[in-house]
Amino acid sequence: MKICPRCKRLHSDTYTECTECGKPLRGIESENEETYLITAEGFEREHIRASLQDAGIPCVPRFRNDMYSSDEVTGKGTSLAEINVPFSAFTKAYDTCVMIGAIDPEKPLTFDMDEAEKMCREIGEKNKDKIKEEMSPSKRTTYKVLGAVLFLLLVAVVVWGTDFITAWIKGLFGG
Ligand SMILES: [Zn+2]
């Protein structure tokens, strides 16, 4: 799975250049990699944005009048935007768009959807492992032990401190 560094379109590994803008493709670097989802304008764009938000998917609309100069001349290009989502949410976002009729699932793609789905899942699992690692049982035990040691130290200070003060008072009155 590869991505275009300029227009963020996904491609299968068989491609070396972007089919949209001709830039050399590169690998996907992180789960937050901005990924191109759909181009839309006006009401449809807002509908897609609202639907993605409802599905809990953050999205970034990019207005790219420079890429649609012919539309710009007629004044149509002003609200045309490409909607990008984080790669980890891509397949969910795609499904959402299919559900609301914004994307035709029969339309040929430059990448394999199954492959994208598999990669999204793998990235999701990697994140889960990371979260597990952050609060692993061994770490939790370490914190408990540290807490117990600190508590004992505190008790010791109080006990010895009291003994010292008692001895000092006794000494003061010639005990
Ligand atoms: Zn491109």
Give tens-digit pLDDT for 72-111: 445 454 578 899 999 999 999 999 999 999 999 999 999 9
Under the banding of pLDDT at 50, 70 and 90, the label for residue 23 is: very high
Using the predicted structure, report yes or no on whether residue 26 has a pLDDT greater than 90: yes
| 3-class DSSP state of 39 | strand
Task: Dig out the tokens for 44 from the structure.
Answer: 């449809």
CA distance 159 to 174: 22
pLDDT value for 77:
47
Using the predicted structure, report yes or no on whether residue 70 has a pLDDT greater than 80: no
pLDDT value for 125:
81
Average pLDDT, integer, range 31-40: 93
CA distance 173 to 61: 82
Distance 126 CA to ligand 1 centre (A): 28
Contact 33, 39 (CB under 8 A): no
| Helix residue ranges, H only, 1-136 | 42-54, 69-74, 90-99, 113-134
Using the predicted structure, report yes or no on whether residue 45 has a pLDDT greater than 60: yes
Distance 17 CA to ligand 1 centre (A): 8
Distance 15 CA to ligand 1 centre (A): 12
pTM: 0.67
CA distance 44 to 138: 51
